[in-house]
């Protein structure tokens, strides 16, 4: 069971409430600085909007940083209710900006709370779930006669083929979770009688892996 759910990618949704447009943009982030950068990008994109309400949660469980702002809406009607919905979703390492274009009809305190809460729910419902994992990317050079067998090994260890180059031999770059790489190396040595070695060419502690 995955206990650290994060967004798989950036998602945008829009709802309308009494002619007001509420546009929600959500994305994965792994630091407060990344969250602030995303918020700035959305505010620039929708610079003519009446409000750009930011909400983010960095981390999971007991180790989190949470933030929200009403961005000019009446106190407690925008950021706080949106954050409450986000906190109940199970997502971490996520930033959401809810942009409002005023439609000419005042919604009142209760109407604003519902609108911002519903905007958050809409973008979370559309958001595909992922997990953050540590990965290593390795390079291997293999003969054609072992290609299909090695592809099966990669699949068995949940590797992701990032590049294939077909020449005199086949050059491959594959990304593995840390915990799967050693088993792949062991199988590869056994299959090739110790002739094929892996070369680590990159690591990433914050790889986003979408959940099935």
Two structure tokens written together for 111: 């109407």
- Average pLDDT value over all residues in the chain: 94
pTM: 0.80
Strands (E), the chain: 5-7, 11-17, 20-28, 51-60, 63-68, 94-101, 129-142, 160-166, 170-177, 199-210
Cβ atoms of residues 138 and 177 within 8 Å = no
pLDDT digits (tens, 9 = 90+) for 71-80: 999 999 999 9
Say if residue 63's pLDDT is above 90. no
More confident residue, 98 or 61: 98
Predicted local confidence at residue 1, as pLDDT: 46
pLDDT by residue (tens digit) across 172-207? 999 999 999 999 999 999 999 999 999 999 999 888
**Fold of domain 131-210:** Alpha-Beta Plaits (3.30.70)
**Spatial CB neighbours of 212, under 8 Å, sequence gap ≥ 6:** none
Which residues, in sequence order, are bridge partners of residue 63? 60
Kindly report, residue by residue over 166-177, the tens digit of the pLDDT.
999 999 999 999
Whether the predicted pLDDT of 56 surpasses 80: yes
Q: Could you report how far apart the first and last alpha carbons of the chain are, in Å?
A: 12
DSSP secondary-structure letter at 73?
S
pLDDT for 36: 98
What are the residue boundaries of the structural domains of the chain, listed by start? 5-127, 131-210
Residues of the chain with pLDDT > 70, as a percent, come to 98
pLDDT surpasses 60 at 122: yes
pLDDT at 6: 94
On the 0-12 / 13-18 / 19+ scale of CB atoms within 10 A, 21 is: middle
Looking at residue 212, what is its pLDDT? 66
Q: What is the CATH number of domain 5-127?
A: 3.30.230.30
Does 33 have pLDDT greater than 70? yes
Which residues make beta-bridge pairs with 141? 171
Residue 2 pLDDT level (bands cut at 50, 70, 90): low
What pLDDT shows up at residue 114? Answer: 97
pLDDT score recorded for residue 3 = 58
């Amino acid at each position: 069971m995955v206990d650290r759910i994060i967004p798989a990618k950036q998602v945008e949704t829009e709802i309308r409430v009494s002619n007001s447009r509420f546009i929600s943009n959500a994305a994965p982030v792994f630091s407060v600085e990344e969250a602030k950068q995303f918020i700035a990008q959305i505010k620039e994109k929708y610079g003519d909007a009446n409000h750009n309400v930011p909400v983010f949660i960095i981390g999971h469980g007991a180790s989190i940083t949470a933030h929200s702002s009403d961005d000019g809406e009446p106190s407690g009607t925008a950021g706080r209710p949106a954050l409450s919905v986000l906190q109940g979703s199970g997502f971490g390492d996520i930033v959401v900006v809810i942009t409002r274009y005023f439609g000419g009809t005042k919604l009142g305190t209760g109407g604003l709370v519902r609108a911002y809460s519903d905007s958050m729910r809409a973008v979370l419902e559309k958001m595909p779930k992922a997990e953050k994992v540590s990965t290593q990317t390795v390079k291997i050079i293999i003969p054609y006669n072992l290609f299909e067998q090695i592809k099966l090994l990669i699949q068995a260890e949940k590797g992701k083929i990032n590049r294939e180059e077909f020449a005199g031999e086949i050059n491959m770059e594959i990304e593995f979770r840390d915990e799967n790489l050693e088993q792949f190396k062991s199988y590869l040595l056994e299959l090739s009688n110790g002739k094929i070695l892996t070369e680590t060419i990159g690591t990433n502690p914050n790889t986003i892996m979408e959940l099935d």
